[in-house]
């Protein structure tokens, strides 16, 4: 018997990274723009989807992957809007991973889909560590959660390219200062875009929708370029 030391140097999440890269290749082949939508529970992820689908469903093909610990409640909400939605139940798992997305993709007909939105499990910590193959990570912070969240959950705010500050119709009833959110996110991630909106009233929705349409257009153009 001999005691030996073996140098390894392997990323612990390499298996997930490989699956995420496979997903990404597939999305790019199909020319689908994919976003990983993250927030704490109750910030308004599903409401954002409903409102976005209402505005864009006639213009672009949309599909949704819903991640929750339990229930198919959210997928049913989305299906009522007439778009494809598949539910992943993580049975207590706190985040989605590349493998779950790969399995969910088998249940979706991607032909005619321009935009795939993956609604992650409500959580500001764990989903930040797991790539799914998405093009953009987007997060929602509702004003009721407070303007201190960027300080407390820096990784999530640092990695997201878009922050949606939701429920701005509630601002008069909270102590949340949106300028503080902007300042704190600016320290972490000055290149990130910030949209202030309300899923309930629709206020501030137009710039968000324009951004999505622009991104979908870019990916459509890539697909058209490939197939020409």
Partner 1 sequence: MHELSIAQSLLEIIVDESRRNGLERINKVRLQIGKFAAVVPESLTFCFELVSRDTVASGALIEIETVGISARCEKCDFSFDVHDQVFRCPRCGEAALELLSGRELTVMSIEGETGEDDGGNQSPSCS
Whole-Å CA distances, 171 to 62, 96, 98, 178, 207: 31, 31, 36, 9, 20
Of 103 and 125, which CB lies nearer to partner 1 in the complex structure?
125
CB of 188 to partner 1, least distance (A): 6
Of 97 and 134, which CB lies nearer to partner 1 in the complex structure?
97
CB of 161 to partner 1, least distance (A): 13
Q: How far is Cα 141 from Cα 42, in angstroms, rounded to an integer? A: 10
- Contact residues for partner 1, defined by CB under 8 A: 1-16, 93-95, 97, 125-126, 128-130, 151, 154-156, 158, 186-191
Contact 81, 94 (CB under 8 A): no
Of 137 and 167, which CB lies nearer to partner 1 in the complex structure?
137
Q: How far is Cα 156 from Cα 22, in angstroms, rounded to an integer? A: 23
Of 121 and 164, which CB lies nearer to partner 1 in the complex structure?
121
CB of 8 to partner 1, least distance (A): 5
Contact 68, 74 (CB under 8 A): yes
Of 106 and 190, which CB lies nearer to partner 1 in the complex structure?
190
DSSP string, 106-156: TTS--TT--EEEEE--S-SSGGGG---S-SEEEEEEEGGG-TTHHHHSHHH
CB of 17 to partner 1, least distance (A): 10
């Amino acid at each position: 018997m001999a005691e030996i030391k073996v140098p390894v140097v392997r990323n612990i999440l390499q298996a997930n990274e490989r699956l995420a890269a496979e997903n990404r290749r597939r999305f790019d082949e199909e020319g689908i723009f994919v976003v990983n939508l993250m927030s704490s529970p109750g910030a308004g992820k599903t409401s954002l989807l409903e409102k976005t689908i209402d505005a864009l469903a006639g213009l672009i093909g949309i599909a949704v992957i819903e991640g929750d610990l339990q229930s198919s409640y959210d997928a049913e909400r989305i299906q009522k809007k007439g778009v494809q939605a598949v539910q992943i139940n993580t049975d207590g798992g706190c985040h989605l991973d590349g493998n779950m997305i790969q399995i969910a993709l088998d249940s979706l007909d991607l032909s005619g889909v321009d935009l795939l939105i993956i609604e992650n499990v409500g959580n500001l910590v764990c989903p930040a560590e797991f790539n799914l193959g998405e093009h953009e990570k987007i997060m929602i912070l509702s004003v009721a959660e407070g303007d201190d969240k960027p300080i407390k959950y820096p990784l999530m705010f640092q990695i997201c390219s878009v922050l949606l500050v939701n429920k701005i119709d509630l601002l008069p009833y909270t102590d949340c200062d949106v300028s503080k959110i902007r300042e704190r996110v600016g320290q972490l991630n000055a290149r990130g875009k910030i949209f202030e909106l309300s899923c309930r009233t629709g206020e501030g929705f137009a710039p968000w929708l324009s951004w999505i349409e622009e991104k979908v257009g870019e990916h459509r153009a890539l697909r058209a370029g490939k197939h020409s």
